[in-house]
Structures are given as C-alpha cells and as structure tokens.
Chains A and B, each alone.
Chain A
C-alpha cells in the first residue's frame, strides 16, 4: 500500500515547518475572502452612486464635473469609493496572479508590483479629489 492521501504523503498542513516551507496554509484565506465580500458591499453602494450620478448629471464639461466633485458629500463618497475600489481590485487581481503565476519569484514580483500600483494610484486619486474639494472652499 502506498501513501494515498495528502496527509500521508506530506504530513499535517498545520505543522510549523510546513508553514515555514510554504507548503501549508497561510491561514489568511478566510480574511481575504471576507474582505473581498465587505469591499464588494461597499462597491455596490459607492460605484452605483457614481454610475447613477453619471447617468443623471446634466452636462459633462469641466465646470459641471469639477463643481460636482468638489461638493463635500460627493468628494467624501468619491474618496471612500477610491479606497474601496482599489482595495477590492487589489484583492481580486491578487487571486488572478496567484492562479496563473506559479513561479514563486515571479509571483512575489507581480504581487509587489500590484501593491505598489494599487496604493500609489489610490493615493493619486485621493490627492486629486482633495485638491478639487479644498479648491472649492478657497
């Protein structure tokens, strides 16, 4: 009789050495899964707000757009949208990378690049919203 089950072949997934070698569960899956759902609920509210607003706004020229974005409530909603959307996108693209990039070095590089792009882009978007919002008050 050979070793048929994963447990028999590789031992328990929860041993310390297994985790160190990257063979076992990182025990972060449930956290990732839950955050993906929580940010999805946020997106449902915030992106729907943006999309419905875009459909109903009377004009799309600079004055109309900048005036709309610089309103305190709109600026707040857009800032929350940026944080929520970039977080959700980061979590989603992480799963895509983990599914298709199997070489550990490439996977690490792709995930590092994803973090830099997501956080950097989100910061730029927040700074842009802040400039519009605070310029409106000046």
Chain B
C-alpha cells in the first residue's frame, strides 16, 4: 500500500442529503419501472377490454390500498422528476459546491413531497 491517502474511503463517510437523493432516485425509478408500469398497463389494457374490466381495475385502484399505491407512485414520480432536474444541472457541471449541493438535495426532496400533496389536494378537493 502507498503511504498517501487512497481513494475511495469506503469506510469513512457520513450521511448527507445528497446520498438520500441518489438512493431515492434509484428506488423511485425502479418502483415506477415495475409497479408504475404494471398499473399503466392494467389501466390501458382494461380500458381497451371494456367497461367490466375497467370497473375491476377502478375497484382495486379506488380501494384504500389502491389509493395508497397511487399516492406512492405519484410521490415516486414527483421525487424522481425533481431529482432528475437536479441531475440535469449537475450534468452541465454546476451545483457541486458542498453547500449548494446540500441545499439542492434538500430542495428536491421537499419538492417531491410538496408536489405530491398539491396533486392529491387537487384530486380530492376539485
């Protein structure tokens, strides 16, 4: 081993909001790619199959568990979209300074939750 410090320090780290954003981006993306696309296929397929099939889809999705899944999917979308926009900024090489990176990580995490609340407020209160 060389005497100089070697990178990466796999055992020396502490939690930060940027790590949460990175993990949630992957989790929400994988969740939407599996559960979200299954719901999308069921929605379109049941619509194409006719009223009876659609009613069984709507029955499941309108149940408390179905609503919970839809709330989860809507949060996954808003979270993934927000952190995706942050990715675009970092893709051009901006926003890597520690403070700004931390602030943007907190901002996109909050934005995902806020947009989800706004979406369901519109659905239930319109």
Q: Interface residue count for A (Cβ, 8 Å)?
A: 33
Q: Which of B29, B41, B87 contacts A124 (CB 8 A)?
A: B41
* In the complex, number of A-B residue pairs with CB atoms less than 8 Å apart: 76
Specify the main secondary structure of chain B where it touches its partner: helix
Taking CB atoms, residues of chain A closer than 8 Å to B54 are 62, 65-66
A44, A125, A132: most-surrounded residue (chain B CB, <10 A):
A125
Q: Which of B37, B122, B126 contacts A85 (CB 8 A)?
A: B37
Assess whether B84 is in contact with A40, with CB atoms less than 8 Å apart: yes
- Complex CA gap A132/B51 in Å reads 12
Assess whether A127 is in contact with B48, with CB atoms less than 8 Å apart: yes
Assess whether B41 is in contact with A51, with CB atoms less than 8 Å apart: no
| Least distance between A52 CB and chain B CB atoms (Å) | 9
Closest partner residue, chain B, to A65 (CB atom) = B47
| Least distance between B92 CB and chain A CB atoms (Å) | 11
Q: Which of B26, B77, B91 contacts A37 (CB 8 A)?
A: B91
Assess whether B37 is in contact with A128, with CB atoms less than 8 Å apart: no
Identify 27 residue pairs between A and B in the complex whose beta-carbon atoms are under 8 Å apart, listed by A's number: A37-B91, A43-B81, A44-B81, A47-B81, A55-B119, A55-B122, A55-B126, A56-B122, A56-B126, A60-B62, A62-B51, A62-B58, A69-B47, A78-B44, A82-B40, A86-B37, A89-B33, A92-B30, A92-B33, A93-B33, A96-B30, A121-B37, A124-B44, A125-B45, A128-B44, A128-B48, A132-B44
Which B residues are within 8 Å of any A CB, using their own CB? 26, 29-30, 32-33, 37, 40-41, 44-45, 47-48, 50-51, 54-55, 58, 62, 74, 77, 81, 84-85, 87-88, 91, 119, 122-123, 126
